[in-house]
Amino acid sequence: MSAVETQIEAVDPRIRRTRLLLQNALDKLLKEKDFDKISVQDIADKATLHRATFYDHYTDKSALLECLVASRFLELLSNRGIKVISCDGALRQVALGVCDYITSIPGATCGEQRHLEGHMESAVIAVVRGMFLEGLKRHPSSAIEPELIASAVSWAIYGAAKEWAHTPDRCPVEQIVDKIEILTSPIFRGKQ
């Protein structure tokens, strides 16, 4: 299951409940030890499920981690009221959401969670790309393919937010979001 698939809720409540148990188990284990030292069996045991049940839902622990990151990021965006990109203010809100999310991960801003960065990055970018792509398809504004615009803007937002988060004595989040908006608005609109 990819990070983007976490946006589509499973119809069966048992599937949702099992995935939530596995995600919560991984979340708890991450507070106890490094991701590399956590086994699928550890996750299954913590979730009080069989190892085979784990594999019914996820290909490996990395896939579970990406789904966990994506679901938490989607929750943050949902709490901000952001679902589909359909207005200019949403670009700013998504950038703010990415900055907030990156800084909400314990140890992420000082480099302690480097082993999780790739998974976090791919999950967040996939969610943001999906949101932009949905909005661009509903409201086409350029001769450039929506997929290309959505990918470029998602990577630009995440890259700038990550750089900001790793900067000592960084500026307030509102200032970096202003800069991200200036950088990405022309791409988002497909301007040359």
Per-residue confidence (pLDDT) for residue 142, from 0 to 100: 73
pLDDT per position as a tens digit, 35-44: 889 999 999 9
d(CA 38, CA 30): 8
Per-residue confidence (pLDDT) for residue 107, from 0 to 100: 59
**3-state SS of 125-188?**
HHHHHHHHHHHHHHCCCCCCCHHHHHHHHHHHHHHHHHHHHCCCCCCCHHHHHHHHHHHHHHHH
d(CA 162, CA 103): 9
Sort 156 into a burial class: Cβ within 10 Å, 0-12 / 13-18 / 19+. Answer: middle
pLDDT per position as a tens digit, 12-21: 889 999 999 9
Neighbours of 94 (CB within 10 A): 26
Residue span(s) of the chain under CATH 1.10.10.60 come to 1-64
What's the mean pLDDT in 163-191?
A: 89
Model pTM score: 0.76
Per-residue confidence (pLDDT) for residue 122, from 0 to 100: 86
Residue 91 confidence class, pLDDT cut points 50, 70, 90: confident
Is the CATH number of domain 80-192 3.30.70? no
Residue 114 structure tokens: 């480097």
Residue span(s) of the chain under CATH 1.10.357 come to 80-192
pLDDT per position as a tens digit, 117-134: 777 888 889 888 988 888
Per-residue confidence (pLDDT) for residue 4, from 0 to 100: 41
Q: 110, 5, 97: which is closest to 58 by C-alpha?
A: 5
| Domain 1-64 in this protein, CATH class | mainly alpha
